Amino acid sequence: MKVADCMTPEPACVTPDDILTRAVALMEAGDFRAVPVVRNGKLVGIITDRDVRKNWQKSEVTKVGAVMSAKPICISPDDSVNEAVRTLLSYKIGGLPVISKGKLVGIITTTDILRAVLGFPELEK
């Protein structure tokens, strides 16, 4: 199985200039723990629930770019899900931005992989 078969396409994103509360609102609305950070259509980072927790006290004035993880670990839609699992486990992370031809095309998370393995793609994302 390929990453493209179980990734979430076109994920919600923020920019480095967005305020942290915008990222929090997206995470809460979508019930996810990470949001890709893009500038001009290119991935420049990722902001996670861990980044938010560390900076919560100043979330209304802090820009995403100041607290995001720059240069996130990524994967290709053509890579195998096994490779995604190895990467997630190796780096102890919960999701990987999916990049094709230099552009963000999706995100694959542990939850996406579990849905696919269990054969429950119809569960809401």
Span 65-124, pLDDT tens digits: 999 999 999 999 999 999 999 999 999 999 999 999 989 999 999 999 998 888 865 554
Distance CA 39, CA 16 (A): 7
Distance CA 14, CA 37 (A): 5
| Structural contact between residues 97 and 74, judged by C-beta atoms closer than 8 angstroms | yes
Distance CA 17, CA 125 (A): 27
What is the number of other CB atoms lying within 10 angstroms of the CB of residue 34?
Answer: 24
Is CATH 3.40.50.300 the classification given to domain 3-118?
A: no
CA-nearest of 64, 1, 4, 2 to 36 is 64
User: What per-residue confidence (pLDDT) applies to 120?
Assistant: 67
**What pTM, to 2 d.p., does this model score?**
0.88
Task: Convert the pLDDT of each residue in 17-59 to its tens digit.
Answer: 999 999 999 999 998 899 999 998 899 999 999 998 888 778 7
Distance CA 51, CA 49 (A): 5
